[in-house]
Structure 1
Amino acid sequence: MPTTAVTGHLTATPLSPQERRVLAAVGCGLRDDEIATALALSGESVAEHLAGILEKLGLRDRDAAIVHAFDCGLVVPGHGVRIPAHRPCPQAPAPPTAAGRLRISLLGPLRAWQDGRGLDPGHLRQQAVLAVLALSAGRPFSRRELLDGVWGAEPPAGNVVPVYVYRLRKILSAGGGPEPVIEHGPRGYRLASGAVDVDVARFEQLSAAIAEAERAGEPRAVVNLCTRALGLFRGEPLAGLPGPFAEGERLRLTERRIALTQGKLEAQLRLGRNAEATAELFALTAEHPLNEPLAALLIRALHRNGRQAEALTVFERARRRLAEELGVAPGPVLRGAHRTVLRARP
């Protein structure tokens, strides 16, 4: 029987050596037919192994298996497949945290945990103060900067920043050590170094690894790392948090999310995974109808699938939306994709 998570902690589930090889190959982005060739298996056997892996590890789908292959060390970016010889592959773990260390998630509504136990960070303005400190990467913020970032042009009548910091210290230190999680010095407030694990920091680390894989010309690693980075999002970043700082970060992180999605889809097209990319591109272009690079990618994907008429329809729809809503003509990227389709028509 597969193991299950208990009170937020995940137990290990041993996989057979062949299952570990299949999982490593999935993590490297290979299709079932490529895995069958590489491991000298039948296609049916690969499918059976993958189904067993998902069941044993309690994983949702193939994308979750890719993320897990990286998390448990079966795949290392830039180094291909690595299969541990004598230890079982554990079930997908939560991000490593030291005893008493906090986790804060900002890639969605703000959430905080300590040792797997959820914490209540208070009302939205108080959460917005915590978000500023969590995103500052150790840089101290003065009272004035916090007031400007959270309240903008309409600051409160009293100086509530020390009150909010006092409340947050009590919330975040519950069950922890004696040292305050939020420090105060001559230059202002900041989170104590190494005391908090923030999902945005993990997102930035994965983004750096993606850039390295792109420079190395490794589209499979790009797809896998992008899948892992995009899996950190739980909705709109900093959803519902007020203030100019949160609004600016929300816009920045949303743009980064779109750019990473575009990078993943471009890598899928380079790997010949056109149908897979096309399905996601239809949804993305509907959500972002004025994004010309996404429309150009969809045109390229449809063209490679032999769907030239649909590709031309996508261009015409994008051209019309750009003219009606922005008063501009298609840019060079979109025009180039259009020309590619026209040149290939009989």
Structure 2
Amino acid sequence: MGISLLGPLQVRRDGRLLRLGHLRQQAVLAVLALGAGRPLGRQELLDDVWGMEPPVANVVPVYIYRLRKALCDGDGPAVIERGPRGYRLVPGAVEVDVARLEELVAGIGKADRAGEPLETVRLCTRALDLFRGEPLAGLPGPLAELERLRLVERRIALVGRKLEWQLRLGQEAEAIAELFALSAAHPLNEPLAAMLMRALYRGGRQADALLVFERARRRLADDLGVPPSGVLRRAHRMILRGAGPGPGPSAGTAAGP
């Protein structure tokens, strides 16, 4: 069985997509999946899914019961177990894409430190292929919101790491195409826009890089009523001067994975 959180929550068993009930119930499953096998008590689940607005009734056991039935799909062993310290997913019973992502990130760091650009790009590609859209899309609760932000930043950092090596390998076109797609999905993300500007500049497309800045500036003004931050302004000045480092984490546009 596989649980995918790097997009709308999905659970597949033997290739079949399972029905998981309404959003709060799905959010309970997401919290258990993010727990990586750690037992979670009832109060912790309430805090993570409902925050400061707890339900009027003790719904956690009810949701756990329904999720057990949905995940077993009428037969097979239980996937959620309860112990003295709370509920957890049975170790080894479920593969979670976020856990796989972290394994790949560790491998990327190792390949990067060893100076293996092709392996770094390959592992970055595999990690980025796990994303199916916005992580935990539509799920309510404080933990889902925090993890959504963290995983989006993780994705951007991976793009930056991949981009850094692609540019060294002369693969500007592939890097720029991926940055355009990600920037369109997150138009208010200034480090991402700066990364795209630097990549375009590095690829000899100075006018396009300046256009990205102008679009980001207008979007920030229209949507948030704020001017560009230092990240965008520094990239803009660097392009206007026709000097400066190439894109990626080493240019200060994104943290490493």
Place the TM-score, normalised by the shorter chain, in its bin. Answer: 0.7 to 0.9
Q: Which residue of 1 aligns with 2:200?
A: 302
Question: In structure 2, which of residues 226, 233, 244 is the aligned counterpart of residue 326 of structure 1?
Answer: 226
What do the CA deviations read for 1:273-302 (whole angstroms, capped 9, x no partner)?
A: 122222333343344344444333333333
Supply the AA of the counterpart residue of 2:156: I
Report the more deviating stretch, 165-174 or 243-252.
Answer: 165-174
Supply the AA of the counterpart residue of 1:236: E
What do the CA deviations read for 1:57-106 (whole angstroms, capped 9, x no partner)?
A: xxxxxxxxxxxxxxxxxxxxxxxxxxxxxxxxxxxxxxxxxxxxx22111
Q: Tell me the CA shift for residue 175 of structure 1.
A: 5.9
Q: Distance in 2 between matches of 1:274 and 1:108?
A: 27
Say whether residues 1:109 and 2:5 are aligned partners: no
Question: Aligned with 1:326: secondary structure?
Answer: coil
Q: Which residue of 2 aligns with 1:221?
A: 119
Report the more deviating stretch, 266-275 or 114-123.
Answer: 114-123
Q: Which residue of 2 aligns with 1:65?
A: none
Q: 1:187 to 1:104 in 2, by over 3 A?
A: same
**After the TM superposition, which residues 113-128 of structure 1 pair with which residues of structure 2 at under 5 Å, given as runs?**
113-128=12-27
Q: Tell me the CA shift for residue 316 of structure 1.
A: 5.0
Q: Tell me the CA shift for residue 315 of structure 1.
A: 4.2
Instruction: State whether residues 217 and 227 of structure 2, in contact with CA within 8 Å, keep that contact through their aligned partners in structure 1.
Output: no
Q: Distance in 2 between matches of 1:325 and 1:289?
A: 14
Report 1 or 2 for greater relative contact order, CA contacts < 8 Å, sequence distance ≥ 6. Answer: 2
Aligned residues: 241
Q: Which residue of 2 aligns with 1:46?
A: none
Q: Distance in 2 between matches of 1:199 and 1:233?
A: 9
Q: Distance in 2 between matches of 1:222 and 1:325?
A: 39
Q: Tell me the CA shift for residue 318 of structure 1.
A: 4.6
Q: 1:149 to 1:222 in 2, by over 3 A?
A: same
User: How much is the aligned-residue C-alpha RMSD, in angstroms?
Assistant: 2.6
Q: Distance in 2 between matches of 1:122 and 1:336?
A: 46
Q: Which residue of 2 aligns with 1:76?
A: none
Q: Tell me the CA shift for residue 338 of structure 1.
A: 3.6
Say whether residues 1:157 and 2:56 are aligned partners: yes
Q: Distance in 2 between matches of 1:334 and 1:220?
A: 32
4+ runs deviating over 6 angstroms: none
**After the TM superposition, which residues 1-346 of structure 1 pair with which residues of structure 2 at under 5 Å, given as runs?**
102-174=1-73, 177-178=76-77, 180-315=78-213, 317-318=215-216, 325-327=225-227, 329-331=229-231, 335=234, 338-339=237-238, 342-343=241-242
Q: 1:245 to 1:292 in 2, by over 3 A?
A: closer
Q: Distance in 2 between matches of 1:258 and 1:206?
A: 15
Instruction: State whether residues 303 and 341 of structure 1, in contact with CA within 8 Å, keep that contact through their aligned partners in structure 2.
Output: no
Question: Aligned with 1:189: secondary structure?
Answer: strand
Q: Distance in 1 between matches of 2:17 and 2:184?
A: 35
Q: Distance in 2 between matches of 1:129 and 1:326?
A: 37
Q: 1:176 to 1:210 in 2, by over 3 A?
A: farther
TM norm structure 1: 0.62
Supply the AA of the counterpart residue of 1:233: F
TM norm structure 2: 0.81
Instruction: State whether residues 275 and 301 of structure 1, in contact with CA within 8 Å, keep that contact through their aligned partners in structure 2.
Output: no
Supply the AA of the counterpart residue of 2:53: E
Q: 1:146 to 1:269 in 2, by over 3 A?
A: same
Unaligned runs of at least 5 residues, structure 2: 244-257
Q: Distance in 1 between matches of 2:237 and 2:148?
A: 33
Q: Tell me the CA shift for residue 136 of structure 1.
A: 0.1
